């Protein structure tokens, strides 16, 4: 069961979400430099391109009215970033998620848990009915991760983003509706 707290001055938009492996938390001094280093790792920059300057990442960690970047922490170490943006128009009320993890944290279930924690927060605490995520169509590990959470492919967005090689690449639009998120895994009781 995730633990949720929020900064009083942020009205709940900068949560602290605690899972079994990961904690999602607001940024602290020095986090932007660590996140930039993760974004520069080949396994990440392959999908995220050239990282923004530290000052831009610091601004993203502060958030704004519709977008928030949280730090993914594993065993007390900065493992990556997860961000969400919100569409608050009542006609389209929904959210979108993006995530990146450093190479040494990939393939261990941390991404799945982080996305599940944030999705649950966005549904239960922020009142959204739908969440989208849009990995590169060729990013099979990310697509497998999001599918484990319950996201479904909606369609291919042709020539969606410019890659580090300068050419446009397809993106896969995936979404998850509130009632499609599986319940929280229960802890097993020892008998």
In which domain, by residue range, is 30 found?
3-180
Confidence at residue 11, expressed as pLDDT on a 0 to 100 scale: 39
Task: Give a yes or no: residue 171 inside a domain.
Answer: yes
Confidence at residue 186, expressed as pLDDT on a 0 to 100 scale: 56
Task: Give a yes or no: residue 34 inside a domain.
Answer: yes
Please count the structural domains in the chain. 1
The low-confidence residues of the chain, meaning pLDDT below 50, are 1, 5-12, 188-191
- For residue 137, what are the CA distances in angstroms to 51, 72, 103, 123, 150? 21, 24, 20, 25, 17
**pLDDT tens, position by position, 31-58:** 999 999 999 999 999 998 889 999 999 9
Task: Give a yes or no: residue 188 inside a domain.
Answer: no
Confidence at residue 88, expressed as pLDDT on a 0 to 100 scale: 84
Task: Give a yes or no: residue 187 inside a domain.
Answer: no
Task: Give a yes or no: residue 169 inside a domain.
Answer: yes
The CATH number of the domain holding residue 174 is: 3.40.630.30
Q: Residue 68 forms beta bridges with which residues? A: 84
pTM: 0.88
Tell me the three state secondary structure of residue 3.
strand
Task: Give a yes or no: residue 10 inside a domain.
Answer: yes
Q: Maximum CA pair distance of the chain?
A: 58
Task: Give a yes or no: residue 150 inside a domain.
Answer: yes
Task: Give a yes or no: residue 9 inside a domain.
Answer: yes
Confidence at residue 2, expressed as pLDDT on a 0 to 100 scale: 52
């Amino acid at each position: 069961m995730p633990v949720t707290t929020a900064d009083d001055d942020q009205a709940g938009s900068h949560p602290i979400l605690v899972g079994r492996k990961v904690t999602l938390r607001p940024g602290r001094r020095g986090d932007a430099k660590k996140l930039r280093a993760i974004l520069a790792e080949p396994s990440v920059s392959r999908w995220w391109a050239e990282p923004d300057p530290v000052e831009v990442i610091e601004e993203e960690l502060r958030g704004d009215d519709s977008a928030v970047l949280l730090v993914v922490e594993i065993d007390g170490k900065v493992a990556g970033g997860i961000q969400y943006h919100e569409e608050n128009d009542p006609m389209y009320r929904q959210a979108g998620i993006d995530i990146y993890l450093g190479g040494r944290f990939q393939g261990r279930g941390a991404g799945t848990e982080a996305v599940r924690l944030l999705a649950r927060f966005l549904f239960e605490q922020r009142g959204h009915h739908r969440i989208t995520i849009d990995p590169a169509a060729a990013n099979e590990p990310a697509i497998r991760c999001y599918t484990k959470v319950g996201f479904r492919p909606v369609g291919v967005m042709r020539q969606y983003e410019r890659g580090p090689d300068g050419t446009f690449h397809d993106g896969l639009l995936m979404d998850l509706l509130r009632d499609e998120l599986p319940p929280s895994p229960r802890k097993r009781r020892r008998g």
